[in-house]
Amino acid sequence: MKVALYCRLSEEDRNKQFETDDSESIQNQKSMLTQYADTHGWEIYDIYSDDDYAGADRRRPEFNRLLNDAEAHKFDIVLCKTQSRFTRELELVEKYIHGLFPMWGIRFVSIVDNADTAVKGNKKSRQINGLVNEWYLEDMSENIKSVLTNRRMNGLHIGAFALYGYKKDPDQKGHLIIDEEAADVVREVFTLFSQGYGKTAIARMLNDRGIPNPTEYKRLHGLRYQQPKRKNSTLWKYFAISDMLTNEIYIGNMVQGKYGSISYKTKINKPRPKEEWYIVRGTHEPIIDRELWDRVQAMIAQKAKPFSTGKIGLFARKVVCANCGYTMRSGKTMTTRNDKKIEYRYLKCSNQHVSNDACIGAYINVDKLEQKILDELNKMSEEFINTDEVARNIEWNTALTDKKEKIVQEMTEYQNKIDDYTKGMRDMYMDKVKGLITEADYHEFTKDISRERKRLETQFSEAQKSLEIVEEKLEKGDNRTELLEQYRHMEHLTREAVETLIDHISVGKRDKKTNTQQIEIFWNF
């Protein structure tokens, strides 16, 4: 008999000295379970150990690996110290211990509380254990929430990390003190903005000087702050500057509770309306004086303009920078020719303004790009007409088949996400039934999820339509002759023509020495 040993750190026995170490509790569990398995003559398949994860956290990596291996029947028995180490949730007890494990031929055993699915009449005991553990989680969650709310109302900082510009006071718990190194940067950001510099320009100035952004700053100063694993993740961005300029903590007010958890079973947070925030004034020394703050807020209000949706651009969302992959943004400027003012439209990679290292940039005149596409279209039409029909059909069928596979993959991804949202709504319904969340909260939480699920369902539907079109084309045969004939003699492109003919366009930076520019058109046929 093969046995899987599952260990988990409990909330009440956190005693690690270092983050990378197993807790003493984990070590003791491994020793206890190994001895028990040896005594019963069971072969140990693997040891699954989740350190620093609570029993209500369904995202435990080793827990989920255990479940996947159990479904594949890589072992016969799951062995734990107690049932609560496996899960404290009654729902998961019923789902796995009483439901799926028997279907998969997996026996569940816990040593201390004598849970054993092989023992007849033991089920009620396991269910009672699950119910008691569920109550424990609820009580613990409510107690923690009550303590945190009280601390927030009293203006005490409860976050794991202080806001950039501050650090935790070692002599007074919940109090912030100024971190002068970072505070100097905060003051500079506010001053530069008050002098008329834009947020992107400020970000670029900081990046050019090699000043680390807030997350990188924390990491460099020894804080266990998770660093995003993305290109240019250490750089200042527009949004970091924007958030800083409107954060009241910099004028000495403690602002907390902007986000709240849905339930104790998930770490998913949702934004709270401002009237539900905890704002306590004058809790710590301000970095920004009131005069500068008011001036900056007035300038932000003045610059704020409602988003206007005008006529969609000819190449909207169709052109990407060949260097960084960012969608190029449109812009316009006015120039004078023969005493006449002429509007000059262009496409530009905005990522290059963040830092010199972010992107070398790409820039192209819209009129020139349009002409390039028309020239390519006419050239392709001539070549197409002169190409052997059999060769054309082979090439066309291969391209369509590849496109079909891509659409099917996208539909699978959409469906998986839809299933996840459906499960999330089901879980929240269970929370409502059990009284963990109110009826009002349930409707509020599910509103956003429903909206996102509907969006994905729309995308799935659109992908399905695209698939039907591709399959119809494959069935009917090559229609490029008609398409090319329809558009080959155009003097100007239309948005409809761009949508029909072009998937996307990749544009590189112009080489000043050779006066050449990489432009690659990815056609829809």
Q: Say which CATH number the domain at 237 has.
A: 3.90.1750.20
CB 486, CB 451: distance < 8 Å = no
7 and 148 co-located in one domain: yes
Both structure tokens of 64: 């989920």
166 and 295 co-located in one domain: yes
For the chain, residues with pLDDT lower than 70 are: 10-25, 52-58, 90, 121-148, 223-233, 259-270, 302-312, 352-358, 383-400, 429, 433, 470, 472-485, 488-489, 525
pLDDT of residue 521: 87
Three-class DSSP category at 448: helix
pLDDT of residue 481: 60
pLDDT of residue 22: 45
Question: Does a structural domain hold residue 425?
Answer: yes
Question: Does a structural domain hold residue 336?
Answer: no
Tally the domains of the chain.
3
139 and 164 co-located in one domain: no
Convert the pLDDT of each residue in 202-223 to its tens digit: 888 888 788 888 888 888 887 6
Question: Does a structural domain hold residue 350?
Answer: no
Query: Of 152, 180, 201, which marks where a domain is finished?
Result: 152
What CATH number does the domain containing 126 carry? Answer: 3.40.50.1390
**Residue 138: which residues within 8 A CB-CB, separation 6 or more?**
264, 436
CB 214, CB 240: distance < 8 Å = yes
Three-class DSSP category at 107: strand
60 and 85 co-located in one domain: yes
| C-alpha span between 236 and 213 (Å, rounded) | 5
Question: Does a structural domain hold residue 13?
Answer: yes
10 and 117 co-located in one domain: yes
pLDDT of residue 23: 47
Crossing angle of helices 238-245 and 199-208, in 10° steps, is: 110
82 and 197 co-located in one domain: no
- How many angstroms from the chain centroid is the CA of residue 500? 31
Question: Does a structural domain hold residue 318?
Answer: no
List beta partners, residue 270: 260
**Locus of tokens 């006071």:** 169
Residue 124, classified by CB atoms within 10 Å of its CB into exposed (0-12), middle (13-18) or buried (19+), is: exposed
Domain span at residue 221?
154-303
Bridge pairing between strands 340-348 and 363-365: antiparallel
Give me the DSSP letters along 380-396: HHHHHHHS-HHHHHHHH
| C-alpha span between 418 and 451 (Å, rounded) | 11
121 and 184 co-located in one domain: no
For residue 402, the tally of other CB atoms under 10 A from its CB is 10
Three-class DSSP category at 408: helix
Bridge pairing between strands 319-321 and 502-507: parallel
390 and 466 co-located in one domain: yes
Give phi and psi for 323, each to the nearest 5: -85, -50
Burial letters for 169-180: b for 16+ Cβ neighbours within 10 Å, e otherwise? eeeeebbbebbe
Nearest alpha carbon to residue 476 among 400, 403, 405, 407: 400
3-state secondary structure 291-360: HHHHHHHHHHHHHCCCCCCCCCCCCCCCEEECCCCCECEEEEEEEEECCEEEEEEEEECHHHHCCCCCCC
